[in-house]
Structure 1
Amino acid sequence: MAVYSTDHSTSVLQTHNWRTASNSTAYLLPYITSTSKILDIGCGPGSISVDFARRANKGHVTGIEYVPDPLGQARELASSQGITNIEFKVGDIHSLDFPDNTFDIVHVHQVLQHIADPVKALQEMRRVVKPGGIVAARESATMTWYPDNKGIELWLKLTTHVGKAKGGNPHPGRMIHVWAGKAGFERAKIKKSTGSWCFSDPVERAYWGGSMGARARSSGFAKTVTEEGFASEQELAEISNGWKEFVDAEDAWFGLLNGEILCWK
């Protein structure tokens, strides 16, 4: 039931590796204690998971991915930083292989948009979190940029279309609290917030625009959209060129607003 439209190629993992607990989970950090037992679903290369384990140094973190591809890199990251209270394994968000009431915190970041049944996933997350524990989710909602850029416009249109066609729910941050309610969380126990990313200085533009441009040139996404007729090689080149223009424009910036929820069981 995963509908992820790309893979874990170098350009994709470059984006995921940039994510840390500080820049991607600030809304959750006040609730992590030294003894927290945490499940990080969709952990990718482990950059957020390892940060969680560092904060919960007397607790434990389990990171899961639906495929094994990025988990070797996640284990290497933990080992290189001397983090031992962590493990990584393959798992399915729709059918979590853990007993009821196992974790203090269950976390997802930019995951619900890539699966076919986010309500079922949140029900599973609710099942495995302890009474009084927290289910946390953060998903993209809206994007904006300057200056106008035809390549980036095409990128957003294409990625949104492909995500929907594959059965996903692109950029659902504005409504994840509604899914949580359908999954069984009481409205009074759902805390809503927003968080944002902004890429504007030369280093940030090079990171964000460079990785997005590389995805358009060579990644599972590029292969999927050309082989299945969503876009032509020429259109992907236009997208890649658009991201290069963004990187090179001194006044350029890209902003992304995320919706966030904390749900207490």
Structure 2
Amino acid sequence: MAYNEHFKGEDPSVTKFYGDRTILTSCAYLLPHLKPNTAILDVGCGPGTITAGLSKIVTSGTVTGVDITTPIIERARSTFPPSSYPNLSFAVSNATDLSEFKDNSFDIVHAHQVFVHLQEPLKALRELYRVCKPGGIVACREGNGRRILSLKPDLPAIREYWDNTVAYMDKSGGHIDAGARLEEWAKELGFEEHGGKIVLQMGELRFPSHAEGMKGENAEQAVRAGIATKEQMERWREAWENFDRTDGSEFVIETGEILCWKGEV
């Protein structure tokens, strides 16, 4: 769910949604640039599935995953313990304030679907730039929720739900079009200076069903917050369950994948 103030990363439905992400589905664009001894910071790591996957590639390097809430970090730690992932660690931190990490600390700084939720994405990107080593890479993958590329079955209730999500993200100060603005932000922060480089490609971001977010405590929170009425939540739940029953169902939005090489400052 995109209701970032009311649906927290530790909620079971949200955890499952983020937990389905892997390095192959979510950061394949970055994998060719990894070396065995790479030091990686994964910002907004959620339950840690991408983070753990990265640690299995950089076997003689280190991977640190950070997220803003303690429960989700505790879950990541319990799911991926040091006994099985000796080069992996997790910590509570804020993408807009990574002050516990020194300047020029990591070879690669990675973020997946983080900026869409932030009121100050430039402040966060500046922090990613700061902790990245000169010559290192800041890698970000963000959706552009204003462009639905495919919706099958194309149900009016799901369109209504998504329009509501976009409007709420706009109202709450999020950036649902972050994927379309990555290059603009990277240039503004000076990634092309001092020999740096920016490579952007546009692709697809496939969403799983949102049916779990339409019922139980999540639905009640949405109603209490004035995000939707009970009638809307019920209509959306029925539509997503129809989506689940349909062979070949898909919900795809545009996504931006950017690799930013930090100049040799």
The TM-score, its normalising length taken from structure 1, stands at 0.89
Residue 4 of structure 2 corresponds to 4
- Aligned to 1:45, which of 21, 44, 47? 47
The one-letter code matched in structure 2 to 1:22 is L
Q: How does 1:1-265 map to 2 (within 5 A)?
A: 4-5=4-5, 6-7=7-8, 8-79=10-81, 82-96=84-98, 97-141=100-144, 142-143=147-148, 144-186=150-192, 189-198=197-206, 208-209=208-209, 212-220=210-218, 222-265=219-262
Structure 2 CA distance for partners of 1:86 and 1:155, relative to 1, 3 Å: same
SS of the counterpart of 1:164? helix
Give 1:231 deviation, angstroms: 1.1
Counterparts of 1:111 and 1:239, CA distance in 2: 25
Work out whether residues 120 and 183 of structure 1, in 8 Å CA contact, stay in contact via their aligned partners in 2: no
Structure 1 segments, 4+ long, off by >6 Å, are: none
Counterparts of 1:132 and 1:159, CA distance in 2: 38
The TM-score, its normalising length taken from structure 2, stands at 0.89
Over the aligned positions, Cα root-mean-square deviation in angstroms equals 1.8
SS of the counterpart of 2:191? coil
Work out whether residues 33 and 56 of structure 1, in 8 Å CA contact, stay in contact via their aligned partners in 2: yes
Gaps of 5+ in 1: 200-207
Listed one character per residue, the Cα deviations across residues 24-83 of structure 1 (whole Å, up to 9, x for unaligned) are: 001100111100100000001000000011101100011001111211221122229811
Work out whether residues 36 and 59 of structure 1, in 8 Å CA contact, stay in contact via their aligned partners in 2: yes
Work out whether residues 44 and 71 of structure 1, in 8 Å CA contact, stay in contact via their aligned partners in 2: yes
Counterparts of 1:46 and 1:251, CA distance in 2: 28
Tell me whether 127-136 or 246-255 shows the greater mean CA deviation.
Answer: 246-255
Counterparts of 1:18 and 1:230, CA distance in 2: 26
Work out whether residues 136 and 261 of structure 1, in 8 Å CA contact, stay in contact via their aligned partners in 2: yes
Counterparts of 1:147 and 1:165, CA distance in 2: 28
Counterparts of 2:65 and 2:217, CA distance in 1: 24
Give 1:171 deviation, angstroms: 3.3
SS of the counterpart of 1:79? coil
SS of the counterpart of 2:133? strand
SS of the counterpart of 2:173? coil
SS of the counterpart of 1:139? strand
Structure 2 CA distance for partners of 1:112 and 1:219, relative to 1, 3 Å: farther
Give 1:223 deviation, angstroms: 4.3
Report how many aligned residue pairs link the two structures: 252
